Chain A
Amino acid sequence: MLKIIGYVIKDLLRNRWTLFYFLFYLLVGFAILIFSGDFSKSMVSFLQIILILTPLIGTLFGVMYYYNSRDFIELLLAQPIRRRDVFIGQWLGVSISLGTSLVLGLGIPFLWYFAQYEVAGDQFVLLLLLGFALGTIFTGLSMAVSVSTDNKIRGFGYALVLWLLMAVVYDGFLLLALIAFRDYPLEKFALIATMFNPIDLARITILLKLDISALMGYTGAVFREFLGSTLGMITASFVLMLWVLLPFALITFIAKKRDF
């Protein structure tokens, strides 16, 4: 499996995709830090990138890379390599490449900023970690979708719908539910609902680390009490890890039954 991961990383470097992605983050990183002036405003901008863009790019990359390397996958399957390793290796290779571009691309501007001003580094590190995790999760989910269908267009469509559901629609429905049942105590429901969407989970985890969480009212206080505690942090990390394991299980399961 390590050999496949290594091959994929080299392949993406050779295609300059990783480089392009890295430069994109680098540019955006410097732009946000220079132009927004205030660091907590920058953090909110970074948060939007990590929550919306990183999963989207992971989704697109996952689908694109899978369909582009279909032939090579077939070649690999004829070799003495475990079927699962072929697919998981591809997923991890793409995720590691994308994640490294993200961490370096945003990390370098931050270090430059950090050297000039005294700002809290731990929030930023958490942000990058969550970005890495979200990228990995969405690359994996989109690969699982791709493995399940030979039709490229359909694969792209399903993967994008999945991203849209998680990044946009889920919140909409959650909000509707919260408004519809506002007469009932909803804090626990909201907390649990958050766990079922990795993007929400990441958003809440970061927001609570920022000062603006004071604006979130009573629900915010409940969240803060839970996620701010050690137990809450452990639970959140554990759930996020489950989210990373989900594509692993899905890809393994789908690939096992497929004919190539």
Chain B
Amino acid sequence: MVRFIEVNKKFGKLQVLDNVSIDVEEGIRTAILGPNGSGKTTLIKTLLGMVIPDSGEVLFKGESVLGKYKYRREIVYMPQIALFPQNLTVKELLDLIPKLRMQPAKYDGLIERFGVNEFMHKKMNALSGGMRQKVNLVLAFMFDVPLIILDEPTNGLDPVAVLELKKLLREEEEKGRTIIFTSHIMDFVQQMADRIVFLLEGVVKFKGTVEEILQETDSTSLEEAVASLILKSQKVHNYA
């Protein structure tokens, strides 16, 4: 469904994406992992056309996304930091985005699931971080689109909401949706990801299933596996 082909991106002197090639298959959940500043968000943004790669191709359903915008009708993106006009109420925001996208949206069930209905008429700048994240989630799931991209969806969520999110992700997969997400919470990733891509300083260090990464690193948990991948690359660095 999505293909990154030898994508390179530099911000100044910093190589943020270094020859990244990834295939994201349709209908499954792919997690992009990596420490802070490893290029996860930048990679996602190249798919959305927000960051323009220096070289390489990003394909969505077999077509290059460069300079195009209509393909984004089939993608919903939930950014890491809630980027909302602060003086809108939750309801106004939930009504505004479908208008801008010119797509119908259904949010009645979602606002109840995440408890957003309790603060529908509050302004965005009056909400706590967790509340905003819940609004963020409602925005991400209220459209009927084939690809959902979630950047750190668990940020600031209480355990009840995290459980609800996990349930929701499973339901979405059953509906045949493709989901790409990033997360720092390895437990969440281990439970939710069908595939894992591990980025380190812009380089793909691993791609495969959870079982494969455990086997390859001889670990019992994903946390251990990721830590060992990071350590291994640091050793290589030191020797070099």
Binding site for B on A (CB under 8 A): 3-4, 7, 11, 14-15, 69, 71-72, 74-83, 256-257, 259-260
Contacts and interface: CB of A to CB of B under 8 A. Distances in A.
A256 B99 CA distance: 24
16 contacts: A4-B100, A7-B100, A14-B87, A15-B87, A69-B85, A71-B84, A72-B83, A72-B84, A76-B100, A77-B48, A78-B48, A78-B79, A79-B72, A80-B69, A80-B71, A81-B100
A260 B50 contact: yes
A74 B83 contact: yes
A83 B68 CA distance: 9
Contacts, number: 60
Contacts of A76: 100
Interface of B: 11, 45, 48-52, 67, 69-73, 77, 79, 81, 83-85, 87, 96-97, 99-102
Contacts of A81: 69, 72, 100-101
Per CB-CB distance, the 4 closest pairs between chain A and chain B, nearest first, are: A80-B72, A71-B83, A80-B73, A78-B77
Given A3-B99, A3-B100, A75-B84, A82 B69 contact: yes
A76 B49 CA distance: 12
Nearest to B139: A75
Contact of A83 (B69, B99, B101): B69
B50 A74 contact: yes
B101 A80 contact: yes
Contacts of B85: 11, 69, 71-72
Nearest to A76: B100
A3 B97 CA distance: 11
Given A3-B99, A71-B81, A260-B51, 12 more contacts: A11-B85, A69-B85, A71-B85, A72-B84, A78-B50, A78-B79, A79-B72, A80-B71, A256-B67, A259-B50, A259-B52, A260-B50
Contacts of A14: 87
B72 A78 contact: yes
Nearest to B97: A79
B73 to A, nearest CB: 4
A77 B49 contact: yes
A77 B96 CA distance: 15
A260 B160 CA distance: 33
A259 B51 contact: yes
B102 to A, nearest CB: 8
B50 to A, nearest CB: 5
B84 to A, nearest CB: 7
A77 B45 CA distance: 10
B96 A7 contact: yes
A81 B69 CA distance: 6
A78 to B, nearest CB: 4
A194 B62 CA distance: 53
Nearest to B93: A75
Contacts of A259: 11, 45, 50-52
Nearest to A260: B50
Nearest to B72: A80
A160 B104 CA distance: 43
Nearest to B86: A71
Nearest to A259: B51
A79 B83 contact: no
Contacts of B87: 11, 14-15
Contacts of B100: 3-4, 7, 76, 79, 81
A81 B96 CA distance: 14
Contacts of A77: 48-50
B45 A260 contact: yes
A146 to B, nearest CB: 17
Nearest to A82: B69
Contacts of B72: 78-81
Contacts of B101: 79-81
Nearest to B51: A259
A133 B9 CA distance: 40
A191 B69 CA distance: 44
A135 to B, nearest CB: 23
Contacts of B69: 80-83
Given A14-B87, A74-B83, A83 B49 contact: yes
Nearest to A14: B87
A75 B84 CA distance: 7
